[in-house]
Structure 1
Amino acid sequence: MSHVPRATLSPVAHDPPSAPPRAGLARINEWMRRYSWLVAMTVAIVITVGGLVILESGRMRIAAEYETALDAKTATADLSALAADIATLSAQRRAFVLQPDPAYKSQFDSTAAHVRRALSTLDAYYRRIGDDTALASFAQVSAAANEEIESGAARLAGSSPDAAEPSASDNSTLDAALSLLRLNEEQRAQHALDTSRADQRISTLCVGALCALNIVLFLLLFRNLGIQLDKQDRVQKELITQQEELDQLVFERTRQLEALAWHLQSVSEDEKTQLARELHDELGSILTASKMDVAWVRGKLRESEPAMAEKLSRAIVNLDQGIALKRRIIEDMRPTVLANFGLVTALRSLVDEAAQRNNWTVEFDLPGEDVKLGEAIEIALFRVAQETLTNAAKYARASRIRVALTMDAAVVSLHIADDGVGIRPQDLKRTQTHGLVGMRQRVSARGGRFEIERVKPHGTSISVSMPRERVHGDAEPAPARSAA
C-alpha cells in the first residue's frame, strides 16, 4: 500500500468567514440610516459657513478695490485741478507784469494757497498707497510747483524785478509730469475695477456652486426626515394608544383610591365614635366613681387625718381635671353638640370656644336654624372648620375671624377668613402643610371644591362648597342672619 502524504488528507478551509464583514456592513448601514441626517446637516452647515466666509472675504476685497479705484479717480481729478491752478498762477503773474494791479496779487495768493493744499493732499495720498515711483515723480512736480509759487510771489512783491519768466520748456515738462501721473492713476483705477469685476464673477460662481450643493444636501436631508417622521408618527400613535390606556388605568385607580380614602375616613369617624362612647361609658363611670369614693374617704378623715384629707382633696382636683380632659377628648373625637343639635350650633360653639382661648373677635353669618345636611357632610364641614381654626390659632396671629355658612337646594358652602399674617405663597403651592391635604381629601371625596387663598392686604380665606344631601323631612333652609 502506497503512503499518502498527510497534507493531502487534511480539509481545505481557506475561505474567510463572511459573517463578521456582513455584521460590520450592517452596523455601518444602521449608523448611516440613523445619523445620515446629522451628517448631511453638519456638511450643509459647514458649506454654508464656508460660503459666508468666501462671500465676506470677496466683499472685503471688492470693497477695497472699489476704494482703490475711487481714490485713484479722486487723485486724477486733483492732478487735473493742480495743473489748471498752476496754469492759472502763470497767467496771473503775466497779467500782473503787464498791468500791476493789486487784485492780481490777491488772486495769485489765493491760487497759490489752493495749490499748496492740493500738493499736501496728493503727497499724503502717494505716501499712503506706497507707490515709490509715483511718489518720486510727484516730488519733482511738487518742487517745480513750489518754485513756481515762490518765483511768482517774489515777482509780484517787486523784490526781484529782474526775475526771468519761466520758459515754455519748464511749463511743458511740468505739464508732461502731471499728465503722466494722471495716466498712471487712471490705469490704477481701471486695474482696480477690472480686479473687482473678476472677484465678483468668482464670488458668484462660488455662491452658485455652494447653493447647488446645499440644495442637493437638503433634498437628501428632507427625504431622510420624511422617513424618520413617518416612523415617529407610527411610534407616536402607539404612544397615544398606550397613554390612553394608562390614563384609563390611572382614572380607575384614582376612583378606587378616592373610594378607599372616603372609606378610611368613614372607618376613622366610626372608630372615633365607638372610642368616644367607650370613654364616656367606661372611663367616665370609673372616674366618677373614683371621685365619689375619694370624696367619701376625705370626709371621714377630715378631722382625724387633716394631712391625708388634704392629699385626698388634691386627688379630687386631679380627678376633676381627668374628667374634663376626658370630656374634651370625647368632644374632639365625636362632638356631641354636632350629634345632638346640628351643624350650625356646633360651628357657633366651636368658634366661640376658639375665640375665648385666642381673644378673637368673631363675626358670624349663619342660618337662623339648624338644618339637617346628612351626617357625612356635617362631619366633613365640621372637621374643616376645626382644622382651619387650629391653623389660625397656631400660625395666623389673627384678631378677627369671620365664619359664614350658606346653603341652597343643591349646594352648601362654608367660608372662614381671618385677618392674620396670611398663608405664605410657598405653602399655597406646597399643599402638604397645615393639614390641607386632609381637608382637600374630605371635601373632594364628597364631590366638593376646596379653595384657600391669601387675602390682601393680609389674612387667609378658606372656602368649601359641597353638594347637599337632602334628608327626608328637612325644612327649607332658613334665611341667614348676622351676629357678632
Structure 2
Amino acid sequence: MKRPFYSRPKRPNMSKLAVLKLGFGAMVALLVFSAVEGYRIQEQSSRDTAAIYQRFVETGEQLSHMRRLLFSASLIIRDYLFSKEAVRSAALRSELRDMAAQTRQSLQTLEHSIGHRQTGELREKINGFLGTVELTLPWPDKQRAAAGFAFIQSEIAPRRGAVSGVLGELMRVNQQFLETSRQQFAASWRAAATRLSIMLVLCIIIGVVVAHASVGHVSRLEAQSIRRFEEVMQAKEELARLSARLLQVQEDERRRLSRELHDEIGQTLTALRIEISHARDAWLAGSPSLSTRLNEAHFLAERTVNTVRDISLLLRPSLLDDLGLEPALQQQLEDFSRRSGIRCTFEPARLDDTLPDAVKTCVYRAVQEALNNCEKHSGASWVRIRAFEDERSLTVEIEDNGVGLEVNRHGAASGPGLGLIGMRERVAALGGRLTLASAPGEGTKLSLTIPLGDQAGSRTAPVGAETAEN
C-alpha cells in the first residue's frame, strides 16, 4: 500500500546520533591523549638524555681527576726520594699525605657515581700504590738516597702503571656506557614513537569513519528536507487549485440549484396552478373532465415533492441524522447501483450509531465522491465497500475492479482531478489518513482511517431533530 500524500517527519535516529557522538568523542580523546603522550615522551626523553650525559661527564671528570692525582703523586714521590734537603723533604712528605687523602676522597666519589662493583679493582690498585708510597715516608735521607731510584723502578712505576691501566679501562667502560645508553634511549624513543603513531593512525581511521558517517547523515537529512519541501510545495499548489475549484464548485452548485428551482419546481408549480384553474372551471361548469384535471394536478404535486426531496438529499441526507451512518451509506449505494448499473457490495461491521456528526459527514461525502469517480472514470463492474470500527478509529475501504490509475510517489493520483484532494482535506481535518493503492489495469482501492479518541465527547444520539447543516 502506498504511503499517504503527506507523512509526518520522523524523529532523528537516536542510535545514529549516539554513534556519531561516540565517534567524535573517541577521536577527540585520542587526539588529547596523543598530545599528552607526545609531551610526556618529549619530557622523559629530555630528562633521560640529560641524566645520561651528566653521568658520563661526571664520571669522565672524576677519572681524569684521579689520573691527574696519580701523575702528581708520582712526581712528588720522585722528588721526595731524590731530595737531600731536610726542609724540602718534610714539605714533600706533607704533600704526599695530602695527595693520598685527596685520592681516597676522589675514589669514594667515583664509587658513589658508578658503584662499588666497577671500582673494586681500582680501589685495590690505588690502596696498593698509596701503601707503597706511605712506606717511604719514614725513610731517612741516606736510605732514600741509596734505595730511592731502585724503589721507584721496582715498586712505584709498576703500581702506577697498574692504576693507570684500571683508569683507562674505566674510561673505556664509561664510553661504552654512553653508547649503550644511547642505544637504549633510541629503542625507547622508537617504541614511544610507534605507540604515538598507532594512536594517530587510529585517530585518522576514526576521523575518516566519523566524517563518512556524518556526510552520509547530512546527505540523508538534506534529501529528506528536499523531499519535505517538494511535498509542501505540491500541497501548497494543490490547495491553491482546490480553493479555486471550491469557488467554482460553489458557483456551479448555486447555478444548478437555481436552474433546478426554475426549470423543475417553477415550471411544475406553474403547470400545477394551470391544472387547478382548469379543474375549478370544470367544476363550476359541471364538466366531466374534473377528475382528469385533479389527477394531473396530483401527479404534478407528487413530482414537485420528489424533486424537492432529491435536492434536499443532495444538500444533506436526512437518513444521516435520523438513522445513522450505516443506513445512509446503504441508501447511497442502492441509489448508485440503480443509477449506474454497477453491482455494489456493502460490508458494515460494528458501526456505532452515535458517531460524531463531523465523522459521519466526512465518511458519507468521501464515499459519495469515490462512487462518483467510479461511475465517471473507472469502467468497473462491481464496487465493494467495507466499514468497521474499533475503540480507537473508524476505517472505510472502497475497492473496485476498474481500469485503475497511476499513483505518484506521494501516494496521490497523477491526474489533474481535485476530488481526491478534497477527500484528503476532509479526512486530514479530523486527524485521519487517506491512502490510495492503484495501478493501470489493476483496479483501485481507497482507504480512509479516522481516529475516534479525541472525538468521543462529541458523539450524539440519533435523534430526528434537524442539524445546523440542514
TM range (shorter): 0.3 to 0.5
Name which structure has the greater RCO, CA cutoff 8 Å, separation 6+: 2
Question: TM-score, normalized by length of structure 2?
Answer: 0.37
Greater Rg over alpha carbons, structure: 2
